Amino acid sequence: MNANGPHQSIGLTTLSRTVASLAVGVVHTLERAVAGDGRIRTAQGNAWEAVCADRARAEHRRELERLVAELAAARAAARARRDAREAQPVR
């Protein structure tokens, strides 16, 4: 029997691929209609968003480290003042 004959059956994987392909087409068309041509997500856009997110996280981390260092310095200064006060003789 010839595999290319008129009675060739459609396999489950062929059907799944067809449905997935149609779904991608529908989502793409819907995104284009809703968001507009200039706002469609692309791999380059996704990569740029990831770079921006990494930069923002790094900036937040630096700010948090600065605040922690500032807090540690303030605690050390307060401790030094307290120790200096306690070291003075009472009159």
Judge whether 24 and 16 are in contact, CB under 8 Å. no
Per-residue pLDDT, 87: 82
First to last CA, the chain: 114
Would you place residue 72 in the very low, low, confident or very high pLDDT band (cuts 50, 70, 90)? very high
Predicted confidence band of residue 1 (pLDDT cuts 50, 70, 90): very low
Q: Is the pLDDT of residue 3 over 70?
A: no
Q: Is residue 1 part of a domain?
A: no
In a domain, 8, yes or no: no
- Tell if the pTM clears 0.75, that is, is over it: no
Query: What's the total number of domains in the chain?
Result: 1
The secondary structure element, H or E, covering residue 17 is helix 12-35
On whether the CB atoms of residues 40 and 32 are closer than 8 A, the answer is: yes
At 11-61, the pLDDT tens digits run 767 778 888 888 888 887 877 777 666 666 788 888 999 999 999 999 999
Say if 6 falls within a structural domain.
no
| Structural domain includes residue 58 | yes
Note down the domain range covering 72.
Answer: 13-87
